[in-house]
């Protein structure tokens, strides 16, 4: 299971969500490993699954993200990566405490831990660990759909949370 840094394409795309708020020198990916699906089997989660443990995101398949994928809006792998990178962002802020929070919500709510509603006045900390990952993923997907126009109306509800991600602040 060799680990690797983000590719140039992955890092460039991650920077539109996380900016300087993520220390990319401490971000690693392991692909084509049975670990995430083995863990999913224990909890009977749907597959394929990824899991992030500290500064390493484990994927059960090769991501193979290219610039052509992004240009053609083939976003499955990159949006999956954005969700998992959020867990690395959480780890860089909270240490291993993020993992207990993420596992707790998975055990308590299962698939119901993912849906969220964006409302004025909320902060990133107001969402559970999985919802935060989906916010980053959904923002990225909406940004690409809006041809990277950060001022597109569809992106407005995400902006306060993206500011937090990019600044690296995890405000209570």
Provide the whole-model pTM. Answer: 0.90
Main-chain dihedrals φ then ψ at residue 56, nearest 5 degrees: -130, 125
Q: And the tokens for 75? A: 């976003």
| Distant-in-sequence, close-in-space partners of 52: CB < 8 Å, separation ≥ 6 | 58, 84, 87, 88, 91
Asked if the structure places residue 144 within a domain, the reply is yes
Domain with 143 in it: 3-95+102-167
Which position among 10, 13, 31, 84 bears the catalytic label? 84
Asked if the structure places residue 81 within a domain, the reply is yes
Model confidence pLDDT, tens digit, residues 114-140: 889 998 889 999 999 999 999 999 999
Asked if the structure places residue 123 within a domain, the reply is yes
Asked if the structure places residue 163 within a domain, the reply is yes
- For residues 22 and 169, the answer to whether their CB atoms sit within 8 Å is no
Strands 56-58 and 28-30: parallel
Asked if the structure places residue 157 within a domain, the reply is yes
Model confidence pLDDT, tens digit, residues 90-115: 999 999 998 888 888 877 877 787 88
pLDDT band at 40 (very low <50, low <70, confident <90, very high): very low
Asked if the structure places residue 43 within a domain, the reply is yes
* 31 tagged catalytic: no
Number of domains in the chain: 1
Asked if the structure places residue 172 within a domain, the reply is no
């Amino acid at each position: 299971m060799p680990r690797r840094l983000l590719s140039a394409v992955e890092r460039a795309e991650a920077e539109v969500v996380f900016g300087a708020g993520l220390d990319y020198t401490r971000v690693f990916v392991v692909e084509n490993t049975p670990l995430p699906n083995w863990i999913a089997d224990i909890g009977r989660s749907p597959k394929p699954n990824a899991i992030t443990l500290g500064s390493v995101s484990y994927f059960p398949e090769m991501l193979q993200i290219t610039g052509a994928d992004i240009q053609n809006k083939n976003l499955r792998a990159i949006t999956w990566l954005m969700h998992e990178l959020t867990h690395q962002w959480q780890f860089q802020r909270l240490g291993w405490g993020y993992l207990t929070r993420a596992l707790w919500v998975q055990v308590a709510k299962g698939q119901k831990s993912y849906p969220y509603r964006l409302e004025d006045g909320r902060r990133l900390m107001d969402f559970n660990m999985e919802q935060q990952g989906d916010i980053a993923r959904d923002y990225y997907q909406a940004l690409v759909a809006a041809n990277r126009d950060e001022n597109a109306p569809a992106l407005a509800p995400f902006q306060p949370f993206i500011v937090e991600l990019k600044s690296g602040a995890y405000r209570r």
